[in-house]
Each structure stands twice: as structure tokens, then as C-alpha cells.
Amino acid sequence: MAYGIPGWLTVWACGWSMLSGVVAVCMCGDPGRDGLCGFAARLVWGSFWTWLGVLERIVPSCLVRGFANALDYVLNRPNPIFQTGYVIIVYGGYSAFCWYGLGHLPLDSIHRMTHLPVMICCALSFYWACTADPGTIATQESANVQDRLFAYDEMIFYPGVECRTCKIQ
């Protein structure tokens, strides 16, 4: 136990970090590219559809529909899941710092004096980000204004291609 941190917490944090890294590589890796990320993406997405077909034959259709509905809710509908995860990670980490780490800092440390104002700023910015209007592009005219302000990333947005959701170029 280093610095009073329990062993299970270290194992849990390392496990989640590794799992997050694997998921990020598989989800963000371009299957069309050579290299480790492309290979991992091809492996995961190629085997995903194969295993999904096998599961559809084995698992009752009501469970498959339920899983599909749950996945649709998590990925495509407004929900508090990611905000809840953020709150758990950030404030859980801050609580662990206060509980286990703060006592190890010297009394005149800048971190001892600034940790609470920094967390208050973090909480306020999180609240403002969650309650702010994300903005919408409703007309071709507003899309033209956005075109002048921001360059296309050419990853998911391309010049001259119509948006699938708002039907604006």
C-alpha cells in the first residue's frame, strides 16, 4: 500500500484504465489503416458482427430486443449516464485525494491552499456545460456562418456533403 491507498483501489483503477484504453483503440481506430489501432478495430468489429449473429440464434429474441433498446438509450438518446460517470470519477478522485493524499502535503504547499477553489471551479464549469444550450444549425444561412468560422475536420464532416440529421450542406 503506497501512501495509504488500498490495494483494491489501485487494482480497480489500473483495470479500468486498461479497459478504457482498449475500448478507445477499438472504437477510435480506423479499420482502413495499417498498424495496431487498425488491426484492433478490424478484429473487434469483424468479430463483433460474427458473435452478434451467433448470440441472436442462442439468446431469446426478447433479450436481444431489450439489449438493443438499452444500447439505443445509452448511445442515441439524452440520458444522464455520462454525466453520472463524470461525477463519480472526478468527485471520487477528489475525495480519494482529500482522504489519502492531502495529509501527505506540506502545510505551506500551494496544492493545500488551492484544491478547494479548483474543485469549485470544476463543479461550476460542469454545471454550466450541462445546462448550456448546445446551439443548433437550422438554416443554410446559419450553416454558411459556421463554415466561415470553423474548418471541416474531414473525419466526420466534409465540405459539400449533406448532414444526415439536419439535411443542410
State the pTM of this model: 0.51
| CA dihedral of 16, 45, 77, 131, whole degrees rounded to 10 | 50
Question: What's the full length of the chain, in residues?
Answer: 169
Residue 119: the pLDDT is 92
Centre a 10 Å sphere on the Cβ of residue 29 and count the other Cβ atoms it contains.
20
Three-state secondary-structure class, residue 167 = coil
Residue 81: the pLDDT is 87
Q: What is the rounded CA–CA span in Å between residue 48 and residue 26? A: 11
Q: What is the rounded CA–CA span in Å between residue 130 and residue 134? A: 9
Residue 44: the pLDDT is 75
Residue 1: the pLDDT is 45
Residue 3: the pLDDT is 59
Q: What residue ranges do the domains of the chain occupy? A: 1-78, 80-132, 135-169
How does pLDDT run along the chain (169 residues), one tens digit per residue? 455 667 777 788 888 888 887 777 666 777 777 877 778 777 777 777 787 778 778 878 888 788 888 888 887 788 888 889 899 999 999 999 889 888 888 888 888 889 899 999 999 999 998 888 777 777 777 777 877 787 877 777 777 877 777 777 7
Residue 18: the pLDDT is 82
